[in-house]
Amino acid sequence: MRDLLEKQLSRFEELERQLVDPEVLANSSKLAAVAREHGSLAKLAGKYRRFKEINDQIADAREMAAGGDVEMRELAEAELSELVKQRETIWNELLEMTLGGTDANRTRCVMEIRAGTGGNEAALFARDLYDMYKHHAEAKGWKIELLDHSPTELGGFKEISFALEGEGVYRELQYESGGHRVQRVPQTETQGRVHTSAATVAVMPEPEDVEVNLKPDDYRIDKFNASGPGGQHVNKTESAIRLTHYDTGIVVQCQDEKSQHKNLAKALRVLKSRVYEMKRQEEAQKRADERKSLVGSGDRSQRIRTYNFSENRLTDHRIGLTIYKLDQILSGNMQMVTDGLIDYDRQQLRDAFGADD
């Protein structure tokens, strides 16, 4: 925990230096990226600096309390009690702010939803999940931007990617990564049998340009004609873009915009997020102090959550949370689920770290 906070403070101080660097000041896009990241870390860095100051004051007070001067010892002991209370309060606030690790305070993230097991029904479920996140974002006042999607003829999505921006957006949505399972009677089912389908969700913090600096030599660009469901609506111009990152093999494509330049810009955002997420997971595995990615293959056996329509039930299997208000959740009222996951994570952190000394 202290290592994480030290890393965040070190990054904040580096950004402070960059904000007065003539080279950065002369580059408006880089300056904007530095200022945005600096702002996202300011609250946490300031509070951790205060925590360290109080720790130093506690050390001084304990030294005075161990001295031979009776009057000074009484003053130090009185001050020590108040300082310890202040430190405990700030430590709890720091725990709250670092739920989700080093990226807890990100205000931008990219989400990807992919249909898994279940054919057309899985694609329709992917659409339901997108609608749920969209309505939730609107209720929270977050900005949502569609990056790319592959619709099916029945109105579902083979896959869809979109960006979200707003206060607390990654802190709340990070828990959505993983396999989601739905149990319901499909509209195409004539005998009323319940089918089980799956989709996967990936939530990735969107890095600033200064964190992931992709150069044109780092990836290959392929241009092709965009198409709609089932290969229909083929454009006559090569507006669609596919990027292949050489080092990681990550492939991203975007065809939603009519402009090739806009598709390229969106594809680069997704590629940067995927590259950053891959590096983040590699570091997490080395340190073993941050959760691993919960994204599965889309198979029914790799699930974090079940949506049962006949029982109007949502069950999150990671924390044993069951809520019989599935209709409300799917309409965008996700806060009851998010709060349960955050509360669980908060308690796990407190049990693991407690009040630091």
> Which residues is 148 bridged to in the sheet?
161
Compute the C-alpha angle 133/232/134, nearest 5°: 5
More confident residue, 167 or 180: 180
Domain limits, the chain? 2-98, 103-211+259-345
- CB-CB contact of 105 with 44 (8 Å): yes
pLDDT digits (tens, 9 = 90+) for 61-101: 888 888 777 778 888 888 888 899 999 899 888 877 777 67
Residue 181 has pLDDT above 90, yes or no: yes
Tell me which residue has tokens 């680069």. Answer: 268
More confident residue, 352 or 118: 118
Report pLDDT for 111. 95
DSSP H or E segment with residue 321: strand 321-323
Residue 291 has pLDDT above 50, yes or no: no
Q: Assign 5 a pLDDT band (cuts: 50, 70, 90).
A: confident
Lowest-confidence region among 37-46, 136-145, 292-301, 336-345: 292-301
Residues sharing a CB contact under 8 Å with residue 102, sequence separation 6 or more, in sequence order: 4, 7, 8, 280, 290
pLDDT digits (tens, 9 = 90+) for 6-44: 888 898 899 999 999 999 899 888 888 888 888 888 888
103-211+259-345 CATH, one of 3.40.47.10, 3.30.70.1660, 1.25.40.10, 3.20.20.70: 3.30.70.1660
Measured between alpha carbons, how far is 46 from 213 in angstroms, rounded to an integer?
A: 27
Tell me which residue has tokens 């998010």. Answer: 338
Report the side by side order of strands in the sheet with 178-184.
Answer: 143-151, 157-165, 108-115, 195-205, 178-184, 305-308, 313-316, 321-323
Report pLDDT for 207. 84
